[in-house]
Amino acid sequence: MAMFQNVSLMFKLYCLTVMTLVAATYTVVLRYTRTISSGDLYFSTTAVCLAEVIKLILSTGMLARESGSPRKLLDVIKEHVLCNPRGLLKLSVPSVVYAIQNNMAFLALSNLDAAVYQVTYQLKIPCTAVCMVVMLSRPLSKRQWFAIFMLCVGVSLVQWKPVDSAKVQVIEQNPVLGFMAIVIAVFCSGFAGVYFEKVLKSSDTSLWVRNIQMYLSGIAITFMGVLVRDGEKVMEKGFFFGYTPWVCFVVFLASVGGLYTSIVVKYTDNIMKGFSAAAAIVLSTVASVILFGLHISKLISLGCTLMCLSMQEECQNKTCSFWIQKVNVRQGQLGNIRQ
């Protein structure tokens, strides 16, 4: 916990900036590889699984640097990973919950209109805030709740896609089932993020050890996804079917983005992670206008404006809190000196 408190504001801003830029770049490049790039389309499940493997390798490398020697690295892995099934089980919870979230989101999208899905799914933003209050006993000010509300509305407007009435509804939908699925997905999103934050901040265990524990279960779950969804096709065409340098770049961005996400959660919180994701949406929207000729509607403009205002409000709150904490620490040090 001491390490968390001593991290500078500049380091936090650096991590948030890199995470935002990586996420925005990932969105643009991913769209290019899935919609515009010519050639055979790769299996998205294999890309997700490969990203988990790379995250594990990168985390192991960072742990090796932190340990200082190969022998110490092996001792840490043996103590915290190989001989710590409880720790592995604890960090498998976010992976399992995220897997449930993805499946529920797919079920909801299959039973709800796209516009309804896009808007209701943004309830994960205030849900994350509620989970932080309940699970971490961390109260939020009225200004923070207002900023979260603006962010939720802004993201909903940017991602709003009106239903095309000319399209014929072929698949019968069950709105009740879709609504239940979206509620579960929203809760899973908030719970998993806050649970991971609580695990990271409740002990002095290295961030990279926690990442290794989580990515091991993540590899197992995503590999099961490959077998279930694309198993026959992968066996026929190969795991790396359709991979190009751009696809490899997507996997690399997903891996680096995942590592920076864990750093942001460790040294800030899930609220800031949400605002960083919103900033990435704004940047990727601007990039899509330039690269793909995306038409900016009034709703998108209003949504981006609300997101920018909410981010400015939250940044002011965080900056004020940081300097108040610094002043309190300095006053405490002066008081000790006088005594």
pLDDT of residue 74: 93
pLDDT of residue 6: 58
Does some domain include residue 61? Answer: yes
Mean pLDDT across the stretch 3-18?
75
Q: Which residues contact 245 (CB under 8 A, 6 or more apart)?
A: none
Does some domain include residue 126? Answer: yes
Does some domain include residue 339? Answer: no
Whether residue 242 is predicted with pLDDT greater than 50 in this model: the reply is yes
Cα-atom radius of gyration of the chain, to the nearest Å?
A: 21
pLDDT of residue 115: 61
Q: Amino acid letter at 251?
A: V
pLDDT band at 71 (very low <50, low <70, confident <90, very high): very high
Closest listed residue to residue 263, CA positions, set 11, 54, 27 = 11
Whether residue 165 is predicted with pLDDT greater than 60 in this model: the reply is no
Does some domain include residue 335? Answer: no
For 266-308, write each residue's pLDDT tens digit: 888 888 888 888 788 788 878 877 877 767 777 777 877 877 7
Q: Calculate the average pLDDT of the chain.
A: 81
CA distance 331 to 335: 6
CA distance 279 to 104: 26
Q: What percent of the chain has pLDDT over 70?
A: 81
pLDDT of residue 4: 44
Q: 3-state DSSP: the chain helix, strand, coil percent, rounded to 5? A: 80, 0, 20
Mean pLDDT across the stretch 26-45?
81
Closest listed residue to residue 143, CA positions, set 306, 271, 313 = 313
How crowded is residue 165: how many other Cβ atoms within 10 Å of its Cβ?
6
Q: What is the dihedral of CA 93, 96, 102, 105, to 10 degrees?
A: -70
Does some domain include residue 190? Answer: yes
Lowest mean pLDDT among 90-104, 135-149, 155-169: 155-169
Whether residue 254 is predicted with pLDDT greater than 60 in this model: the reply is yes
Domain assignment of residue 7, given as a range: 2-163+170-327
Q: How many CA atoms lie within 13 A of 220 on its CB side?
A: 12
pLDDT band at 179 (very low <50, low <70, confident <90, very high): confident
Does some domain include residue 337? Answer: no
pLDDT of residue 66: 92
With 0-12 / 13-18 / 19 or more C-beta atoms within 10 angstroms meaning exposed / middle / buried, residue 82 is: exposed
Does some domain include residue 334? Answer: no
Structure tokens at 49: 């699984």
Does some domain include residue 332? Answer: no
**How many domains does the chain fold into?**
1
Lowest mean pLDDT among 68-72, 140-144, 237-241: 140-144
Mean pLDDT across the stretch 62-81?
92
